[in-house]
């Protein structure tokens, strides 16, 4: 049994979906027991969140966003499908999914707010749309395929926005639903990212959770391997778009891969490794647009010996929010309230730091979620601001993060001091710092316009 998962960049338009279908057909020729997991098209989940949040105050703006999403998927369907029956069925299914979201947005508009539970209903539509397109393309290419919503497979708790799967409850459902399809020669095309409670209420597994879906299915089906396809050649020492000489890390342990994912390696969701560890299922990270490259293999015990070069993980398009105190009323409860308010708005906090001497709290969020984040914090602290207990809640300039991660026990003990020494020689402007308890990882926040130069300099300094 092989699990193949394709990310949003691999499914961003009709040409990409056709490429994915070709890769699936090729893999099925050598491994007939195959399950495919898909993310939403690149940008689709952000568009769905934007529509839901717009509906709180502007119903028409929400509808415009949904119509743009409908048009994008319909255009892809028409480019992908030539058989009238397949095209008509796909267009009908796509329209049904968009209409469902439109009804959810109408409910949000009526209430004037979007609960996390409702946001899960909206956000999960992206994967339903992409699974419809890929399954139809496969059938048209002569490969039996069926789109399967993961709400029928994966049982989760009711922690909306970042639900945790219940593997012991999911395993019998996964096997009962998918094995019959596979045994009769069909390829299940499963929606990533989404799940459902035991009562059938839809949930999501957190942003980027389609990787996690693939790992859960792999564990439930005792797969021989899980392949995650994205738009880079596995895990690299740096972003190749920034550092031309960046090279692929050929093999990593589960522990090292989990650490890199936790520090923001976008090629892998942080929770992906855990379901695979117990059963020792190997994970391969591959490039949809460079399929002959071997990528990065993740196993319990790597065969490669010797030191591993550090990996530099960079992220752009972020905003730093600040909650500033006023006088002597600052307590640790401020951080708890802020984090709770953002969780309630389904916003992922990428990093936060608190200064008791300056009485400030800094929270790092995505640029796309900055407006909603600021609104959530202003609602939470409105009374404190009015009474003068807090000075302000504000959104600072656009920033990026740079995380340097080394392998424990592999000449990593000097990683942090070497990184700070390099930053000092560059005279980089450091906005914020986060260091793990271990001595092998450190993250810094810098102005976005300085990210690329800083990454290139650190990579050169640490890899010489």
DSSP string of 434-456? EE-SSSSEEEEEEEGGGHHHHHH
Rounded Cα gap, residues 392 and 385, in angstroms: 7
What value does the mean pLDDT take over residues 99-121? 94
Residue 438: band (very low, low, confident or very high) from pLDDT cuts 50, 70, 90: low
Q: What is the pTM of this model?
A: 0.82
Work out the mean pLDDT of the chain and round it to a whole number: 92
Rounded Cα gap, residues 256 and 212, in angstroms: 17
Rounded Cα gap, residues 116 and 159, in angstroms: 9
What pLDDT is recorded for position 432? 85
Highest mean pLDDT among 86-95, 207-216, 311-320, 398-407: 86-95
What pLDDT is recorded for position 464? 60
The two structure tokens encoding residue 150: 């993961």
Is the CATH code 3.30.2130.10 the one for domain 312-462?
yes
Could you say which DSSP state residue 309 is in?
P
What is the gyration radius of the CA atoms in the chain, in angstroms? 23
Contact (CB, 8 A) for 418 and 277: no
Strand 296-299 with 251-253, pairing: parallel
- Residue 418 vs residue 77, higher pLDDT: 77
What pLDDT is recorded for position 307? 63
What pLDDT is recorded for position 355? 82
What pLDDT is recorded for position 409? 53
What value does the mean pLDDT take over residues 172-187? 97
Residue 45: band (very low, low, confident or very high) from pLDDT cuts 50, 70, 90: very high
pLDDT at 283 over 80: yes
Residue 207: band (very low, low, confident or very high) from pLDDT cuts 50, 70, 90: confident
Residues 6+ positions from 415 with CB-CB distance below 8 Å: 310, 404, 406, 439, 440, 441, 442, 462
What pLDDT is recorded for position 310? 87
What pLDDT is recorded for position 415? 83
Q: Which ranges in the chain are annotated with CATH 3.30.2130.10?
A: 312-462
What value does the mean pLDDT take over residues 54-66? 95
Torsion of CA 410, 414, 420, 426, to 10 degrees: -80
What pLDDT is recorded for position 408? 54
CATH topology of domain 2-305: Carbamate kinase (3.40.1160)
Quickly count: other Cβ atoms within 10 Å of residue 358's Cβ: 10
- Per-residue pLDDT of 401-435, as tens digits, reads 998 988 655 555 578 888 989 999 998 899 888 87
- 331 sits in the region (left: phi over 0; alpha: psi -120 to 50; else beta) called beta
For 277, 303, 370, the CA distances from 272, given in Å and listed in that order, are: 10, 21, 27
Q: Which ranges in the chain are annotated with CATH 3.40.1160.10?
A: 2-305
What pLDDT is recorded for position 136? 98
Residue 376: band (very low, low, confident or very high) from pLDDT cuts 50, 70, 90: very high
For 58, 217, 245, the CA distances from 197, given in Å and listed in that order, are: 31, 16, 46
Residue 437: band (very low, low, confident or very high) from pLDDT cuts 50, 70, 90: low
- Residue 37 vs residue 441, higher pLDDT: 37
Residues 6+ positions from 367 with CB-CB distance below 8 Å: 317, 318, 319, 398
What value does the mean pLDDT take over residues 358-372? 90
């Amino acid at each position: 049994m092989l699990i193949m998962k394709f990310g949003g960049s691999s499914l961003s338009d009709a040409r990409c979906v056709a490429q994915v279908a070709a890769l699936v057909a090729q893999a099925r020729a050598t491994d007939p027991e195959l399950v495919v997991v898909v993310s939403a098209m690149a940008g689709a989940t952000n568009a769905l969140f934007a529509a839901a949040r717009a509906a709180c105050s502007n119903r028409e703006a929400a509808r415009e966003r949904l119509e743009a999403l409908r048009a994008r998927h319909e255009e892809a369907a028409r480019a992908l499908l030539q058989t009238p029956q397949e095209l008509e069925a796909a267009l009908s299914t796509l329209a049904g999914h968009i209409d469902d979201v439109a009804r959810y947005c109408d409910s949000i508009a009526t209430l004037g707010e979007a609960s996390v539970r409702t946001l899960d209903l909206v956000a999960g539509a992206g994967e339903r749309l992409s699974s419809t397109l890929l399954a139809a393309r496969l059938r048209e290419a002569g490969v039996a395929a069926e789109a399967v919503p993961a709400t029928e497979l994966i049982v989760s708790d009711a922690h909306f926005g970042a639900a945790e799967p219940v593997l012991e409850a999911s395993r019998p459902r996964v096997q009962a639903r998918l094995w019959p399809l596979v045994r009769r020669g069909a390829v299940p095309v499963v929606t990533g990212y989404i799940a459902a409670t035991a009562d059938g209420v839809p949930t999501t597994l957190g942003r980027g959770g389609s990787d996690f879906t693939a790992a859960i299915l792999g564990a439930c089906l005792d797969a021989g391997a899980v392949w995650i396809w994205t738009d880079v050649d596995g895990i690299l020492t740096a972003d190749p778009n920034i550092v031309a000489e960046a090279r692929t890390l050929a093999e990593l342990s589960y522990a090292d891969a989990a650490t890199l994912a936790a520090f923001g390696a976008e090629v892998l969701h942080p929770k992906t490794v855990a379901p695979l560890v117990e059963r020792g299922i190997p994970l391969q990270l591959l490039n949809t647009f460079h399929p002959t490259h071997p990528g990065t293999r993740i196993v319990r015990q790597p065969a490669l010996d010797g030191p591993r070069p550090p990996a530099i993980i960079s992220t752009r398009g972020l905003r730093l929010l600040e909650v500033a105190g006023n006088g002597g009323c600052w307590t640790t409860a401020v951080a708890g309230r802020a984090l709770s308010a953002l969780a309630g708005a389904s916003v992922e906090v990428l990093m936060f730091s608190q200064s008791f001497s300056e009485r400030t709290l800094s929270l790092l969020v995505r640029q796309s979620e900055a407006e909603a984040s600021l609104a959530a914090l202003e609602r939470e602290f409105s009374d404190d601001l009015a009474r003068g207990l807090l000075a302000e809640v504000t959104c600072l300039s656009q920033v990026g993060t740079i995380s340097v991660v080394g392998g424990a026990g592999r000449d990593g003990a000097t990683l942090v001091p070497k990184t700070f020494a390099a930053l000092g020689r560059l005279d980089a402007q450091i906005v914020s710092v986060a260091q793990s308890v271990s001595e092998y990882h450190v993250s810094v926040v810098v102005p976005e316009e300085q990210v690329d130069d800083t990454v290139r300099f650190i990579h050169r300094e640490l890899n010489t």
